Amino acid sequence: MPTLTAAMLLAAVLGFAVLRPRRLPEAVAALPAAILVIAAGLVPWSAARAEVATLAPTVGFLAAILVLAYLADAWGVFGYLGTVAARVAQGGSGRRPATRLLGVVFGIAATVTAVLSLDATVVLLTPVVLATATATGVRARPHVYACAHLANSASLLLPVSNLTNLLAFAASGLTFAGFAATMALPWLAVIAVEYLVFRRFFGADLAAPARPGTSTPVPPPRYALGVLGATLAGFVAAEPVHLHPGWVAGLGALLLAVPLVVRTPKAERLRATGRIMAEAQPLFCLFVLALAVVVLAVRRHGLDDLVGRLAPHRADLLGLLAVAALAALLANLVNNLPATLVLVPAVAHSPGLVLAVLIGVNVGPNLYYVGSLATLLWRRILHLRDQPPASGTFLRLGVLTAPAGLVAGVVALWAALHLTAAT
């Protein structure tokens, strides 16, 4: 009965997060469910408090990076990137504009995801890419779908690229630079697979003649780009002195926020400050903490034992493939965030297996919408812009990209681990 109750509560929370009736925040279901599992004794109060305390710094970073990405957009960073993409697509010779634009979008989306996290790619870059494709006169479908896929698969590179990475980073035992160095090869391998599949899958869209288009040049926001570069360097420098990356992201956000608020008329400064603070999405952060407590109830009542029996214990190639496949399957069943919370403790004895879990929970969600909250958000954004994605197209594309990307990423990880061991 405790196992069934915990599983039903988790299913209810995830179902609510997927459907979001009346666009209510995900925390509306997650917080009562977390209170219920504590009140029912499924999770002792002390264990719930410890879980929240463990995750609090990670969730704090999430809030800071969301604000940082919003402020980067306010400074015109994403508009400038759209201008660069349009200029490259419309200039030169050889490849068609749509194909050139796809290559640029892949590069920009992979970089934005790695540096500013997948939420920035979904929320801020996707509308820019949609507008850029329209201005360039090409079909937007390949480029918009690329944003969704790369928001997941291109988040392998840095510990700060995805909430799943942050949850697993401490268990990996790696430094910030060590994590990036080990995951660089899998990151490149997965992106290469995605690009090759996209070129073939969207061949008709990419071959369609481009309509006449115009794009308005946007000057580079040098100050904002400089702050973002310094923030990225700060992530690397903070780790040896045991400074949490949330403080670095918060400082970067402060450096971008202060000039914007100062330039705002005095009568509007309080409202502008409130708008910036709201971009931290406190209700979503509360959802993440409450979800962790609900997942803990499922873990304590059977799931940890089951995963412990299924998860491999050796980080050889077969073990890495097995744990990545298990992570991808679990991500598509219960979403990648709960999958990470469940699997990382089971493989924490091996850094290689922890990183393979990340490949599974970051690449696997490209199979279908429910695997990642970011993909659900991408879908919602396109619906709001009257450009709803086709579920069948997303599923067919996912069948082609997710398994191939998973295998390529794991093989590259296996090679990277051997190269690291050799040196």
* HEC letters along 319-359: HHHHHHHHHHHHHHHHCHHHHHHHHHHHHCCCHHHHHHHHH
Nearest to 160 by CA among 227, 242, 248: 248
Whole-angstrom distance, CA of residue 14 vs CA of residue 24: 13
What pLDDT, on the 0 to 100 scale, is given for residue 213? Answer: 62
Percent of the chain surpassing pLDDT 70: 98
What pLDDT, on the 0 to 100 scale, is given for residue 93? Answer: 59
Whole-angstrom distance, CA of residue 61 vs CA of residue 252: 12
Confidence grade of residue 411 (pLDDT, cut at 50, 70, 90): very high
* Whether the predicted pLDDT of 94 surpasses 60: no
* From 42-46, 277-281, 354-358, 367-371, the region with the lowest mean pLDDT: 367-371
Q: List the chain domain ranges.
A: 76-220+311-422
The position carrying tokens 């008329």 is 265
pLDDT tens for 306-362 read 888 888 888 899 999 999 999 999 998 888 888 898 899 889 989 999 999 999 999
Instruction: Give the pLDDT mean for 100-122.
Output: 92
Whole-angstrom distance, CA of residue 200 vs CA of residue 186: 22
* Whether the predicted pLDDT of 7 surpasses 90: no
Nearest to 148 by CA among 140, 160, 137, 157: 140
Confidence grade of residue 165 (pLDDT, cut at 50, 70, 90): very high
253: part of which helix (H) or strand (E)? helix 245-263
Whole-angstrom distance, CA of residue 147 vs CA of residue 132: 13
Residue 395, CB half-sphere, CA atoms under 13 Å: how many? 5
Which of 183-187, 239-243, 244-248 has the highest average model confidence (pLDDT)?
Answer: 183-187
Residue 386 vs residues 130, 148, 206, 307, 382: alpha-carbon distances, Å = 11, 17, 21, 41, 6
Instruction: Tell me the one-letter amino acid at 25.
Output: P
